[in-house]
Structure 1
């Protein structure tokens, strides 16, 4: 999987795995049902989870150097949409994953990483609950018919991780 290190000024340095390629996300092409499980209050020491269903449409763009998906669900009884854009840099063999949703209406700063075989890890920084965190996305495609996405936050430079989101995919 991709590895990260921190520079003296706290910036993330990400290294691609040897097997990283523009085909890493090909398994996601098509339409999906998603069962999501999220921590209600990340970084609050809470063990209270909520679950909800969503759907997703995924397609490739830029002759395979990119892809995007549209995520649909209801949150709090209101329609919610998310957009993920993934771009592959053939020089560095790193993917950058960007997210935008119907609440914020803008792309985030992106998470960077790669796959090593059937598992991928992607890292970035965010402020969550007033804390500067490293964010880790984990993709598991060991069974490409039922892939799993998960997300974790670290407040201690990656020494420990709080897993706070799991998405289990199945074909529509």
Structure 2
């Protein structure tokens, strides 16, 4: 996959085991401007994560993003159908003008709660956003990658690592086409 060939920045930890995330010099509140408006999405998602699965599920979805908070944030709605049932997801992205880091929060119609944020920034139109999480009762690292080098066809992807970032398993890709 085009964006899989991009390298994930090395993950660093402080003395307490917390992630050290530093903003790129070019990080700005305008990093997600390419994503404003509506997109049609082709999703490609692993059927099972961190199990050496190589079976992918593909499905269509739509997404619409708009800016909030005088431009230091944005929200998008993700609409899809899973197993014949409607599914809605929502992302809230907030830019901290002091740290120059983005925090990305996710919620969906299954849980109704906000996930812990992934945090990071863009450099050269590619953004990496990290978090520590738990998956199947095991600690994992998670990364979201936004590849906006082709602003009319951005790619979002997600990977997880169960070995503190030494290896990563890509488990979801969204290939977007701007529709407005």
TM-score for the superposition, normalised by structure 2: 0.92
Instruction: Note the C-alpha offset of 1:157.
Output: 0.9
More strand by percentage: 1
Give runs of aligned pairs for residues 1-172 of structure 1, distance below 5 A: 4-172=11-179
Instruction: Note the C-alpha offset of 1:102.
Output: 0.2
Q: Answer whether contact 1:2 1:116 (CA < 8 A) is retained.
A: no
- Give secondary structure in 1 for the equivalent of 2:21: strand
For 1:37 and 1:62, locate their aligned partners in 2 and report how far apart those are by CA, in whole Å. Answer: 32
Runs of 5+ unmatched residues, structure 2: 1-7
Task: Report runs of 4+ in structure 1 exceeding 6 Å deviation.
Answer: none
Cα shift readout 1:36-94 (whole Å, capped 9, x = no counterpart): 00101000111111001100110000111000000000011100000000000000000
For 1:171 and 1:32, locate their aligned partners in 2 and report how far apart those are by CA, in whole Å. Answer: 4
Instruction: Note the C-alpha offset of 1:2.
Output: 7.0
For 2:10 and 2:29, locate their aligned partners in 1 and report how far apart those are by CA, in whole Å. Answer: 18
TM-score for the superposition, normalised by structure 1: 0.97
Instruction: Note the aligned Cα RMSD (angstroms).
Output: 1.3
Runs of 5+ unmatched residues, structure 1: none
